[in-house]
Amino acid sequence: MSFTPVRRFMCATALMVASFSSHAGLIINGDFESHTLKAGSWSWMSSNLFEGWSGSNIEIWNGLNGVHAVSGNHFIELNAHGSNQGNWSIFQTFATDIGQQYQLSFFYRARNNSNEQFDVSLAGVNWLIDDHTTQGWSFASRSFVATDSNTTLRFTALNSGTMGNFLDAVQVSSLPSVQAVPEPASIAAFGLGLLALAGVSRKRRNSRSV
């Protein structure tokens, strides 16, 4: 399976934020806005109480410690508060068409240091995200081809503890099918064929006029 190159950049303008939040996609609650939370605060809960997502606990932030969401008011910390067996991991399963190409995108950021990292998995492929920075949000995007009628997107923290790996604006959307473009040689041959037909037509008209 081939993936498009990763694109990462610092989130800098409100215009860019608005453009991402306006796109509809297949992920439910991808910007983590389903719960009410006061500005400058945080909360956590079991994932079975959080719309769309399953797995480990979910920890939500709203403008805490000067960190603001990319989309809406909330974002999450993957390494959540509370107890957990094994690595912190959340996931969501959504309907897909086998063979259809889709685009996954999300924003991520370090809480404490650049050693934070997590794994992204879907459609049988794992993707390591290990270039975090505490100075701002980074953007990541990859295309994938669905191999089943249901696809599971999973984020798994690769560092221990209850601090690290901010996530926001998770989206998956289908990509339009690319129509085959004729080769230049085929176009040329088609053009020559039209010219030949035009020549035959002229000869027939000339022969009738004699």
* Domain CATH code at residue 148: 2.60.120.260
Same domain? For 164 and 188 the reply is no
**What is the helix, strand, coil percentage profile of the chain, to 5?**
20, 30, 50
Is residue 199 scored above 60 in pLDDT?
A: no
Q: Give the pLDDT confidence score for residue 177 in this predicted structure.
A: 74
Same domain? For 124 and 31 the reply is yes
Q: Give the pLDDT confidence score for residue 31 in this predicted structure.
A: 96
Residue 2 lies inside a defined structural domain of this protein: no
Is residue 81 scored above 50 in pLDDT?
A: yes
147: left (phi over 0), alpha (psi -120 to 50) or beta: alpha
φ, ψ for residue 60 (rounded to 5)?
-105, 140
Q: How far is CA 183 from CA 31, 176, 186, in A?
A: 43, 21, 5
Residue 180: pLDDT band (50, 70, 90) is very low
pLDDT digits (tens, 9 = 90+) for 36-56: 999 999 999 999 899 999 999
Same domain? For 144 and 186 the reply is no
Residue 71 lies inside a defined structural domain of this protein: yes
pLDDT digits (tens, 9 = 90+) for 92-101: 999 999 999 9
Element (H, E) at 190: helix 184-209
Is residue 120 scored above 70 in pLDDT?
A: yes
What does pTM read for this prediction?
Answer: 0.76
Element (H, E) at 199: helix 184-209
| Residue 192 belongs to domain spanning | 181-210
**Sequence-distant (≥ 6) Cβ neighbours of residue 60 within 8 angstroms:** 32, 35, 37, 42, 43, 44, 74, 75, 76
Residue 9 lies inside a defined structural domain of this protein: no
Is residue 183 scored above 90 in pLDDT?
A: no
Kindly report which listed range (31-35, 36-40, 113-117, 184-188) carries the lowest average pLDDT score: 184-188
Same domain? For 91 and 165 the reply is yes
Same domain? For 76 and 22 the reply is yes
Same domain? For 168 and 194 the reply is no
Same domain? For 103 and 186 the reply is no
Residue 191 lies inside a defined structural domain of this protein: yes
